[in-house]
Structure 1
């Protein structure tokens, strides 16, 4: 997966929500920044993520507004990846509108956070049912979507959207060919 991510970055447009001509050059994280993150988390970062930070960039590439960096790395909205580490979650990226993707370092699962549709008393955080390898695989393939909290039409429960719900939403918004208009 590491090589596939590097190829996607090399192809340009390596942050989904930023114009290619405004992208900053990528600079790997210093080893001390990775050690600091692992010490704060009390466990090692997943090997793919660790390697991407050390060999590719201290954030600044990937989905949304880019993978958040570690100390002195890529930030969005004044936040870096370390913001949630006290709770065992590494914030991966900001998608805008308060939406983010997070990695639970205890079990390796990706969680979504979408505060927009949830009524009072409903958790805005939900499992995305994927690992960091799955997350980057979907990004490379162009099939990773921002976390989206939806209310199940059958049960009334709040949960993360399924891939089929994303596909339906995209078709409704852009038509079957994916083009707006």
Structure 2
């Protein structure tokens, strides 16, 4: 799917569900400042044109300030309040966006405009082999599962 198609597909999801309203440009800018990297263009569009998080797998991804929260985390910048992962296991620019539970997280690489997706499991971090558009498309298709995330590591991708 193109970025435009992903945005439109998420708009359909937003109309059906109870997603938060879109984020303000100020909230996005504040998240970028806290994280130290610009959001990938597709993620920025989704936040300001569709909803401030809440879309994606299950209960949806974290938003920026004022958007969808997940567990103990208010938004994507909340995880960066003390800077990048102090253990050094998660490189700066990889942003935790969705908690699958059981110490499994999906992350977006803010260093790459395509928003390459990564997995963090029990402190180990590896690329998933898809970008944000493909990740969200898999979510819509129902093919994105925890098992597939963990397979991406064992298959060496």
TM-score (norm 2): 0.74
Per-residue deviation at 1:40? 3.0
User: Which moved further from structure 2: 65-74 or 85-94?
Assistant: 85-94
Structure of greater Rg: 1
Shift of 1:161: 4.9
SS at match of 2:53: coil
Deviations 1:104-152 (A, max 9, x none): 111331101122xxxxxxx5211101111111111122211236436xx
CA distance in 2, matches of 1:138, 1:70: 23
The alignment partner of 1:50 has SS state of helix
Matches within 5 A, 1:57-136: 57-79=51-73, 80-82=75-77, 83-84=79-80, 86=84, 87-107=92-112, 108-115=115-122, 124-136=124-136
How far residue 65 of structure 1 moved from its aligned partner, in angstroms, is 3.1
In 2: Cα distance, 1:65 partner to 1:90 partner: 18
For the Cα contact (< 8 Å) 1:92–1:101, is it kept in 2?
Answer: yes
Question: How far, CA to CA, are the matches of 2:23 and 2:14 in structure 1?
Answer: 16
Normalising by structure 1, we get a TM-score of: 0.65
CA-based RMSD of the aligned residues comes to 2.3
Unaligned runs of 5+ in 2: 1-5, 85-91
Report deviation, 1:5.
2.0
Paired residues for 1:1-181 under 5 Å: 1-12=6-17, 24-79=18-73, 80-82=75-77, 83-84=79-80, 86=84, 87-107=92-112, 108-115=115-122, 124-146=124-146, 148-149=149-150, 160-161=153-154
Contact map agreement 2:106 2:120 (CA 8 A) in 1: yes
Determine if contact 1:8/1:140 at 8 Å carries over to the other structure. no
Which structure is higher in RCO with an 8 Å CA cutoff and minimum separation 6? 2
Gaps in structure 1 of 5+ consecutive residues: 13-23, 116-122, 151-158, 163-181
